[in-house]
Amino acid sequence: MASEIKMSQYYDWWFDNALEFLGHLLEDVDVSLEWRNGIIFDSLDQAQIAQLVDNIERLIKFKLKYLKIGKDGSKEKANRAYLPTMHKGKYVNFLGKDVKLKQEICNYIFNKNCEDKNSKMRICDFCMNYYSGKYNISQVSQTVYPVATGSLKSQCGVRKMEPEYHACPTCAFLGSIAWLDDNPFTCDTENLTNYILFPKVEDIYELHLIKDAIRDAVKQGKNSNVMEIYKGRNGAEYERYAKDEYSLLLSLFEQIRSIGRSIGYQEEWICLRIKGTHPTYQTRYSYLSEIKIPNVKNLESIFREIQKPYSNLVDKSFTKSLVNGSINNNMGRDNKYLMSKGIVMDDFKTFAKAFRIRENCILTGINKELLYTLISQWRCNDGAV
């Protein structure tokens, strides 16, 4: 008889998002789910587990790789850069195991029989449950939890800290599959940084609804999944995407609006920033920050007045040198960041900073009508133009 399995919520941004994604995957293989402080479902049969692992395998090929088109027009599948999912060219942890072992691990997780405690059992550092580490996936790396410290004492920051953490198969499985989810991300190739956004919602069912809308809205691109495709003068297609977290958030709201869905300007977000060094090195630095939109009403009215504040206003701007008229891309990126941050955080001071003339460079390319509308909406009593 099928027994009921309950996986409770972690109240942690990474694992809650992963658990929600697992729920989404289970719904794909026709498992009836209940969202209540976690997910509750009947244990899976062998066919369902095989299908689940098949889906995960397919996603690994689809989500962690992209089609790279070389200068001579040759096409090849390349790995998505700067994610800590690989080590020396191979996937690590659960992602790197072969299909049979993956099935075994899933079998262990989804058909848990109560195991007796014995001396070889360890305690998981995340969920505090007992486990036996027979699948060799219990070592915690950045794959399982992106802000985990490395295993070298000297790189931990605090030398007396326990440098190694251990996870039970369930936590390791959840942590690894979270990379396959459709979280809005963007990659700034200039400074080798990846920005990934996670909605921060306590109630897992609400999180599920929000992420469903996001899944419908995002596309699949090389450097970002929130982007616009436009045709260049020579007819070739280019992607236009945001280069920082605030611009990403603005363009995500635009994209969700454009498909007619609404997530009601979700207020709290977690931004994970993964900074890679040169692709040949393995070191990756991860930083975590929180974005809390202080004034949702203002953002709502800005979106109502100017339909697309990012792609029509911020993205079209560029920065020129006053001396020789050449375009300064570094400064331009900085200015876009300041403008987006100002709009999202309802901070006019930051927005105005972009317009200051710095290093003899001036911001241009702003649409006059949109700028008038934006400033009147933002700073005027009645908001009318």
Partner 1 sequence: MVQFERDEMETMRKSGQVIGKIADSYISDLYQLDRTRSAEELIKQLKNLSLRAISLGKRSDGSVYTEPLANLMDLINKYKDDHEEIKDIVIVYSTFYLGAIRYSNR
* Strand, coil or helix: 355: coil
Residue (230 or 372) nearer to partner 1, CB: 372
Beta-ladder partners of 274 = 194, 286
Contact predicate 168/131, CB 8 Å: yes
Residue (264 or 365) nearer to partner 1, CB: 365
Q: Please give the helix or strand (H or E) that residue 47 lies within, else none.
A: helix 46-63
The verdict on 229 binding partner 1 (CB under 8 A) reads no
Give the nearest distance from C-beta 292 to partner 1 in angstroms.
17
Contact predicate 83/274, CB 8 Å: yes
Count interface residues toward partner 1 (CB under 8 A): 26
The verdict on 152 binding partner 1 (CB under 8 A) reads no
Pair of tokens at residue 71: 């200068």
The verdict on 349 binding partner 1 (CB under 8 A) reads yes
The verdict on 384 binding partner 1 (CB under 8 A) reads yes
The verdict on 352 binding partner 1 (CB under 8 A) reads yes
The verdict on 47 binding partner 1 (CB under 8 A) reads no
Interface residue with partner 1 among 77, 202, 348, 369 (CB under 8 A) is: 348
Interface residue with partner 1 among 355, 359, 369, 373 (CB under 8 A) is: 355
Residue (36 or 356) nearer to partner 1, CB: 356
The verdict on 30 binding partner 1 (CB under 8 A) reads no
CA–CA distance, 119 with 235 (Å, rounded to integer): 67
- Which amino acid is residue 230, in one-letter code? Y
Contact predicate 343/302, CB 8 Å: yes
Stretch that binds partner 1, among 55-63, 116-124, 216-224, 344-352 (CB under 8 A): 344-352
Interface residue with partner 1 among 97, 308, 320, 341 (CB under 8 A) is: 320
Q: How many residues does the chain have?
A: 385
Pair of tokens at residue 238: 């280019």
CB atoms within 10 A of CB 302: 21
CA–CA distance, 166 with 32 (Å, rounded to integer): 31
Which residues would be at the binding site for partner 1 (CB under 8 A)? 320, 322, 325, 346, 348-349, 351-352, 355-357, 362-366, 368, 371-372, 375-376, 379-382, 384
